């Protein structure tokens, strides 16, 4: 299945499982109808009075999609590409999720993934690269990602991990 079809499949799943506003449903249906153009989203944005609310709901859709992607515990290049496409399509930029007060949800999803990596008390090269992909996946700047990663690493150290095996150095 190509990226476009995989994205459509994810959108269908989200539409079945989540209760989105009519505006968001309309935007997601654009994906299903092969009308994934920023100009089409702009038309819906321009017609709504609560632009900030719509943007926040779309940022939540991206987090919902990330949750679906992370269900199997693996982040693929295709999934990363899909998230980038959604961000571009929705007009969500790096840092918007924190500005839209979605930090707790991001921290929750990211912490779950990082805890899986730190569980064996070692961060190998593949996991180190995955951390970079997670930072990109969630649209976080380095500092925001670092703070969340640091909390999980500190927990791993309290549970017996050694700093030298974690692939990063933190101010403890």
pLDDT digits (tens, 9 = 90+) for 100-114: 788 899 999 899 889
> Average of pLDDT values for 4-21?
92
Burial 150-170 (b: 16+ CB within 10 A, else e): eebbeebbeeebeeeebeeee
pLDDT at 35: 93
Q: What is the mean pLDDT of residues 123-146?
A: 87
pLDDT of residue 1: 63
- pTM above the 0.75 mark? yes
Average pLDDT of every residue of the chain:
87
Nearest Cα residue to 107 out of 146, 156, 161, 157:
146
Top-confidence residue, 4 or 74: 4
pLDDT digit string (tens) for 148-171?
A: 999 999 999 999 988 888 876 666
pLDDT score for 169: 64
Name the residue with higher pLDDT: 71 or 125: 125
pLDDT for residue 2 = 77
């Amino acid at each position: 299945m190509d990226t476009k079809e995989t994205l459509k499949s994810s959108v269908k799943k989200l539409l079945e499982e989540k209760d989105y506003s009519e505006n968001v449903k309309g935007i997601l249906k654009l994906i299903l109808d092969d009308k994934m153009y920023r100009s089409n989203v702009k038309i819906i944005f321009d017609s709504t009075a609560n632009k900030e609310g719509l943007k926040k709901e779309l940022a939540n859709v991206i987090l919902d999609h990330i949750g679906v992607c992370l269900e199997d515990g693996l982040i693929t290049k295709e999934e990363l590409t899909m998230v980038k496409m959604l961000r571009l399509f929705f007009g969500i930029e790096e840092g918007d999720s924190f500005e839209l007060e979605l930090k707790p949800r991001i921290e929750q999803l990211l912490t779950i993934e990082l805890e899986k990596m730190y569980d064996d008390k070692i961060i190998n090269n593949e996991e180190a690269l995955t951390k970079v992909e997670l930072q990109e996946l969630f649209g976080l700047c380095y500092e925001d990602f670092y703070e969340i990663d640091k909390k999980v690493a500190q927990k791993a150290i309290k549970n017996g991990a050694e700093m030298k095996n974690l692939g990063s150095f933190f101010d403890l």
